[in-house]
Structures are given as C-alpha cells and as structure tokens.
Amino acid sequence: MEATVGLNSTNKNNILPMVLAGSMFFILGCVTWLNGAITPFLQQMLELSPLQASLIISSFYISVTIAGIPSAILIKKIGYKNGMAVGCTVMACAALFFIPAAKFQMIEIFLLAQLLIGVGQTILQTAVNPYVVKMGKEESAAVRVCIMGLLNKFSGVVVPVLFAAVVVSGVVAEGEVLSQTQKDAMASSLVLPYLAISSFVFIFALFAKFSKLPDLVFDEGSSDGKSDIKEALSHPHLVLGIIGIALYVAVEVIAADTIGQYALFLGIADYSIMTSYTMACMLLGYAIGIALIPRYLSQQNALIMSGVSGVLVALAVVFGNNDSFVISNLLLVPFGGPTLPDPLLLIAFLGFANAMVWPAIWPLALSGLGRLTGTASGLLIMGIAGGALGPLLLSLANMSGLGAQGAYIIMVPCYLYIIFYAVKGHKIKSW
C-alpha cells in the first residue's frame, strides 16, 4: 500500500489535522515524562535499589520491542486516525492498573502497568509520527515535528510539577526510614491522579475516533507485511536511522527520567520535579529549531550540532563538581529559583542537546521510502526500545564502580553515533 496524503503544507485545512496530531503528542508527553517523577517516588516508597528503580523506566520502553511491528500492521489495517484512538484507549486502560499496584504496593503490578502504557504509546507513536511527517513538504518535516515536540515537551514540564503538587506532599527526606503509615499515604496519593489520567487520555481517544479530519490514505498494493519489512530493511539509511533512534532515546530517557534519581542520590528534596528542568531545556531547543529550520539550518546540520553538544555536555556532567553551584547562581537564584549542583543542571542541559535529534532523524530515515513509509515508521518506533537500555546501562555502570556521576559517560558513544548518522549514515542508500 502506498500512502497518499489528503493534506498539504499550503492547505488551510491542515490546521485541524495539526490540532489532532498536537493533541496526541501532548498525551504522549504526559504518559512518557511522568516516568521521571514516578520513578524516584516509587524508589523511595518501595525502598528499591537503583537497578530495581531503573526497571520502572525500562518496562515502559521495552514494550516497543513487543508492539512495534504489530503496531505497524495494525495501523496499516485500521488507518492512522483509528490507530491514534486505539493507542489512547490502551493507555487509558493501563493507567487504571496503577490503582491496584498502589493498593498492594507491589512493584510487579507497577511494572505491568508501565508495560501496558508503553504498548499504547507505541501504537500512538506509530500512527502520529508519519501523520506529521507526511502532512507537508519533506524538507520542512522537522519543523512540523518540532511544533509537535513543543507540545510533547511542554507536557513534560507541567506533568512533573503537577505530580509534585498533587502527589509528593509531606514525603520524608532521603535517608530516613519510612514507616508503613508513610508508605500507605504515599501509595494512596497515587489513586486519584491515575484515575484522572485515565479519564483524560480516554477523552482524547474519543476525539481521535470521531473527529472529521483527513487521514493518510493508502492505495492498495500486492505486497504483504513480511515482504514490506524485508524491503524496508534493505535501505541502509533506514536501518542506521533505527539504530540512531534507539541510541537517541537511550540518552533522552537518561537525561529526563534519571535526573530525579540523581537528585535523590544528592539528597535534594524536590527530586520529583527535576524532569521539568530537562523538558524546559528541550522546549528551548525545539523553539530554536522551529525558528531556524529549514530557512537557516538544514535538518542534517541541526543533527550534527545536537550530537556535538551532547558529547560536550555529557563530559561536563561526568567531570563536574557537585559542590559547585555556578550555573544555578547565574540562572536560577536571581529569579528566586533553588541552588542546585552544576552536574545536576548539566543533565538538564542535555535536553537542549537532545531536542533536535528526533525531529531530524525521522525525515532523514523515511526519505524516499514511499509506500514503505508505514512499515518503516513501525521499525523506527521500535528504536524507542533504546529507552529501556539507557537507564539499565546507567545503573550497571554505577554499580561497576563508575559511581552515580561517572556512569553518565555511557552517553558519549551514543552522541558520537548520532554525529556519524548526520554526516554519513543517512546518505547511504545501498549496502
């Protein structure tokens, strides 16, 4: 089947499809970036080791390996709009699993809930990303993805703050032994928020299902799913792009979802809102991308700059001084903000370096694939499984003797690969 889009970049009717896609990216941000707040919270409540806590993040992202190809097949059969509705419905149902998980205080149920939410977001990602990429001209695709990313990352700024305000109240300081009463109070505080999340996401499922908006339309073809996958994987720039997405998501998740754990390690009370700092930096990066691409900066050069910035900031995190507060004294304290160690804020700055990687890799990897776009999108979505690997490797590096700070060195090879893909990998059209 070949995708032909009933949308184009000069059509005023593109506004409503952009609203639909933007709504889906906002939902993705809500469920994804909540991980950064919920992980240290559960680590404290359930008294988990750093490795056990990393499984909370990993179970969310490993679902992509399970659901990536089935999602592509499903979207091909039911369409992109219906795929968005199904993805939201699965996430809404999965959010309800957090209620028994909280009541029984069982990490196993939390992991199952995370896995199921991950399946839903995989379906949604598979549907909405090509919807945005193919909405207009290819050379401006990164700008459209940037606009979607602004909504995604904006929810990443807001959700941890709301979580801290609604859920994390009266939490004991790091190092104190929790009583069962305190654990019960922390667990009970999760019930109403996850009921609200479930209802909120389900409303968007109804919006996607019943809104009278154009879809990506497919012309019938004779190829089957397996042959499409094989054909798609014969394109090196796609395969290398999948690897790039996997490594990018690994570093993105490390920057956004482990910053709270690092703050908890440092004994900072407001650990649950640290993801908001990373997301705020990503918002800034997206805004700059929208202003510069493609008029002043190509998607390729934006990717190169992102990779180089990532290497430099990651090294600064590793070799930074936790007793230094220069950055916060310059950027936060004058405006009434907190005093935070430099390495912690440098982890947040990685959000700026990461901002343009996803928007730039997607159009480069999908370039010229035509009817294989849907299948290729499913394969690219599978790269999100890299988010499961990042926190695990960080925890293992920590345990190996590198320590909580030195473990961030594992990000450097990931950024070096992103530079390679920007310079050479996306240009390779045959093996």
Q: How far apart are the first and last CA of the chain?
A: 25
Residue 27: name the closest of 161, 123, 140, 144 by CA.
123
DSSP letter at 429 equals -
- DSSP secondary structure code for residue 177 in this structure: P
pLDDT of residue 273: 85
**Residues 201 and 31 sit within 8 Å (Cβ to Cβ):** yes
* Cα pseudo-dihedral 291, 297, 300, 304, rounded to 10: -90
Domain range annotation of the chain: 9-215+224-427
3-state secondary structure of 4: strand
CATH architecture of 9-215+224-427: Up-down Bundle (1.20)
Q: Divide the 431 residues of the chain into consecutive groups of 10 and give the mean pLDDT of each group.
A: 44 66 83 83 86 87 81 83 90 93 91 92 82 68 73 81 72 61 86 90 87 59 65 90 93 90 86 86 83 79 92 96 94 91 95 86 83 78 84 90 93 96 86 74
Helices within 258-402 (DSSP H only): 259-265, 274-292, 299-318, 326-331, 342-354, 357-366, 373-382, 386-397
Radius of gyration, CA atoms only, the chain: 21
What string of DSSP letters covers 203-255? HHHHHHHH-----EEEE--S--HHHHHHHHTT-HHHHHHHHHHHHHHHHHHHH
Best CA proximity match to 292, nearest among 348, 219, 359: 359
pLDDT for 323: 93
* 321 close to 374: Cβ distance less than 8 angstroms: no
CB 28 within 8 A of CB 125: yes
Q: How many Å apart are CA 339 and CA 325, to the nearest integer?
A: 7
Pairwise CA distance, residues 425 & 114, whole Å: 33
Reported as half-sphere exposure (CB side, CA atoms, 13 A), residue 388 has a value of 18
pLDDT recorded at residue 223: 52
Q: Are 324 and 394 in contact (CB under 8 A)?
A: no
For residue 296, the tally of other CB atoms under 10 A from its CB is 8
Cα 134 to Cα 119: distance, rounded to the nearest angstrom: 24
The pLDDT assigned to 164 comes to 76
Place of tokens 């559960």: 42
What contacts 264, CB < 8 A, 6 or more positions away? 40, 43, 44, 174, 271
**And the tokens for 403?**
């320590």
